[in-house]
Amino acid sequence: MPRLPESGQKFCMLYERDCTLSQVLTDLDLPLPDAAAQNKMRRNLGFIMGRWPDPSEGTDAKAMAAELQRLAKKLESLDPLFSALVKAGRHSHKNFQAAILLSRELRPEIENSNQFIEDFHTSARYVAEAAKAAANKLGSLKGKPGRLAHCWYDDFTRFLVSIAEQNGIKATVVIDRETGAPRGRFLELALGFQRLLYPAMRPPNPKALAKRLERSLARIRNDRIV
C-alpha cells in the first residue's frame, strides 16, 4: 500500500489537462468507484507526486544538506544581534543599536516587542539545530545516487500494485520473447495512471517505463523481505 502522507507533506494536483482520473479508470476498463473513493485515490496520488524531487531544483541529498547547513549558519549569525537586546552582558555598540531600532519598528504592530524578539531568538536557535541535524541525516545518503528520486516512484509503484491487487491483476511486467517489447496488464495500468503525472515525471517510452517499474518492484519486494 502507498505510504500515508506525513505532516506537512507537499501535495500536487493531478495533471488532468488531457484526461481526468475517471477517464483513466474508464480507459483501463476498471470499475468506476464512487466520488469518495475517487477523492481518496486522487489525494493518495497527489501526495505521492508531492514527493517528486524536481530536477530543476536540484533536490538531491547533497544539495539539500548544503541548503540546510546554510540556513543554520544564517540563523546562528543573527545570535549576536538578538542577544544584544535579550541577554545581559557586553555587546557591540552596533548590535545594541540595531536591536533597539528593530524593537522600535515592531512596536506599532507588536505590543511587547522585546518579548517577541526573545521568543523569536529562541525559536531561531531550535530551527538552526534542527537544520543541522537534518543535514547530518541527509549526509548518510551520500554514495547512494538517485535515492530520493526512487522514493516517490516506489510509492507510485505501490499505488499501482494496490490498484492491481484490487482488480485481480498480477503486478509483473511481461517482456515479449520475440520482440523484446514490454506488455501486460500491469504495464497498461502504469501507462494509464502516469497520464495523471506531470510530463517531466514520466519515462520517455514504454520500454523505459518497464525498466523503471521492474527496478521499483524489486526494491519494494526487498523492503518486504527486510
Q: What is the pLDDT of residue 10?
A: 75
| pLDDT, tens only, 145-176 | 445 556 789 999 999 999 999 999 999 999 98
Distance between CA atoms of residues 67 and 204, nearest Å = 31
Strands 174-175 and 182-183: antiparallel
**pLDDT of amino acid 5:** 45
Averaged pLDDT score across all residues of the chain = 83
d(C-alpha 187, C-alpha 211), whole Å: 11
Judge if pTM exceeds 0.85. no
Neighbours of 76 (CB within 10 A): 15
C-alpha grid cell, residue 114: 522585546
Query: For 79-97, how does the pLDDT look when each residue is reduced to its tens digit (9 = 90+)?
Result: 887 777 766 666 677 777 8
- For residue 16 the three cell numbers come to 488532468
Mean pLDDT computed over 116-121? 83
pLDDT digits (tens, 9 = 90+) for 182-202: 999 999 999 999 999 999 899
Alpha-helix residue ranges (DSSP H) falling in 168-205:
185-193
Q: Nearest Cα to 95, choosing from 81, 105, 83?
A: 81
CA pseudo-torsion sign 184, 185, 186, 190? positive
